Amino acid sequence: MNFEPYPFEKLNNLLQNIIPNKNYEPSVLTIGEPQFETPKFIQDSLSKNSSLLKKYPKTSGETVLRDAQRTFFKTRFGVELNDKQIIPTFGTREVLFNFPQFLLFDKKEPTMAFTNPFYQIYEGAAIASRANVIHINLNESNNFKAQIDEDMLAKCDLVILNFPNNPTSSVLTLDELSQWVKMALKYDFVLLNDECYSEIYTGEKTPSLLEAAINAGNTTFKNTLVINSISKRSSAPGLRSGFIAGDAKILEEYMNYRTYIGCASPLPLQSAAAEAWMDEEHVATSREIYKNNFKLAHEILGIEIPKATFYIWLKVGDAIEFTTKLYKEYNVKVLPGEYLARENSKGENPGIGYVRIALVENEDKTKDALNRIKECLNG
């Protein structure tokens, strides 16, 4: 298998011979990892349940965790899932990599489409699945929203959307998501929405694809799935708690597959995750921090405040040149957009000319970094 280097490896190679300006404290705004303490009640639960390490965890997840995730989904999206419509996962990276391999295994010449730019695990899954890839470009002309192309969708076995979107911060409305559900039924492909940023919104709550399925009359979620994670929501990426939910028929077969891959979450992690999924107060606190960071970015850089995520997709012209200059002169690391995207069949790379900035620090550090970015832009 020939996997592309990860974006962060490409960035390290780009900057390896550059000596940054030591007059500034280093500021790393490249990775989507919240730089805040995991809430104490989650840490306490993990410690309290450490004795459970003596037991093997179930691949299907403990009842307490499944119930907590179902409660979260009903509370947040108004969608009631039965126990066959959800599977706890070890975060979402593993499910994004192995689910396409499971789904496409029996397809002679599988085709997979996903939004572009993208989380690189989508591409890795396509390579491991020997799938043909179609890139759904997100760019300024379509307001960074996935456009429906029926000729393209007719070829697909699996389509992965990612809204709220990493890295562009774009959001699809309930009606826009509903149109995608209708396409999945019309052309009989599986539609998966990566919703890991659903809880980091700045105003109105963002919709789920499963809400859209009901809105489109698909109450059994046929061909429709979502994944979500606690990592961004609870500042707990190390807890590795996620889920996949939706079409029960697909999930029943996928559950059988999962018994062989050995990725069950340890019981102390499941106990702590269950408490985190059930609590909304700490999430609201985090949301305010990210919202205030966006307000600072609006004041300093003049950007429009996104509806969700904690990313700025900033247009800078030559992103490679800007990234190297910003690091050399201001000791700030950002990620060139072209590292997060690929050329589509028309030779278009929608990441060119942009950098992704992750606003995952506290207010003071964020303000300082944004002012340095402004100086670099104006220099």
Residue 43 lies in a domain: no
CATH number assigned to the domain comprising residue 196? 3.40.640.10
On whether both 221 and 287 belong to a single domain, the answer is no
pTM, entire model:
0.96
Per-residue pLDDT of 289-339, as tens digits, reads: 999 999 999 999 999 999 999 999 999 999 999 999 999 999 999 999 999
- Averaged pLDDT, 235-254: 96
On the question of pLDDT at 346 being above 90, the answer is: no
pLDDT for 1 equals: 79
Residue 81 lies in a domain: yes
On whether both 11 and 84 belong to a single domain, the answer is no
On whether both 273 and 297 belong to a single domain, the answer is no
The answer to whether the beta carbons of residues 155 and 28 sit under 8 Å apart is no
Per-residue pLDDT of 351-367, as tens digits, reads: 999 999 999 999 999 99
* Beta-ladder partners of 86: 245
Q: What number of other Cβ atoms are within 10 A of residue 161's Cβ?
A: 20
Per-residue pLDDT of 122-171, as tens digits, reads: 999 999 999 999 999 999 999 999 999 999 999 999 999 999 999 999 99
Q: CA-CA distance, 242 to 91, in Å (whole number)?
A: 4
On whether both 336 and 268 belong to a single domain, the answer is no
On whether both 188 and 298 belong to a single domain, the answer is no
On the question of pLDDT at 345 being above 80, the answer is: no
Residue 217 lies in a domain: yes
For residue 203, name the pLDDT band (cuts at 50, 70, 90): very high
Which of 279, 307, 327 is at the close of a domain? 279
Residue 47 lies in a domain: no
pLDDT for 43 equals: 96
Per-residue pLDDT of 11-69, as tens digits, reads: 999 999 999 999 999 999 999 999 999 999 999 999 999 999 999 999 899 999 999 99
- Averaged pLDDT, 335-349: 91
> Rounded to whole angstroms, what are the CA distances from 296 to 284, 318, 365?
19, 24, 11
pLDDT for 171 equals: 98
Per-residue pLDDT of 87-125, as tens digits, reads: 999 999 999 999 999 999 999 999 999 999 999 999 999
On the question of pLDDT at 374 being above 90, the answer is: yes
Angle formed by the axes of helices 93-104 and 248-258, nearest 10°: 100
What percent of the chain lies above the pLDDT cut of 90?
Answer: 95
pLDDT for 356 equals: 98
Burial per residue of 303-332, b for 16 or more beta-carbon CB atoms within 10 angstroms, e otherwise? beebbbbbbbbbebeebeebbbbbbebbbb
On whether both 14 and 93 belong to a single domain, the answer is no
On whether both 193 and 307 belong to a single domain, the answer is no
The answer to whether the beta carbons of residues 335 and 326 sit under 8 Å apart is no
The answer to whether the beta carbons of residues 163 and 172 sit under 8 Å apart is yes
What percent of the chain lies above the pLDDT cut of 70?
Answer: 100
On whether both 264 and 117 belong to a single domain, the answer is yes
Q: Indicate the pairing of strand 158-161 with strand 190-194.
A: parallel
Please tell me the total count of domains within the chain: 2
Residue 2 lies in a domain: no
On whether both 266 and 332 belong to a single domain, the answer is no
Residue 44 lies in a domain: no
For residue 2, name the pLDDT band (cuts at 50, 70, 90): confident
Please report the DSSP string for 117-134 in residue order: S--THHHHHHHHTT-EEE
Task: Flag the least confident range among 156-165, 220-229, 341-350.
Answer: 341-350
Task: Tell how many helices (H) and how many strands (E) occur in the chain.
Answer: 13, 12
pLDDT for 191 equals: 98
pLDDT for 363 equals: 95
Which letter does DSSP use for residue 137 in this model?
E
pLDDT for 93 equals: 95
On whether both 249 and 319 belong to a single domain, the answer is no
* Residue 223, both tokens: 């061909």
**Which residue segment(s) compose the domain that 141 sits in?**
53-279
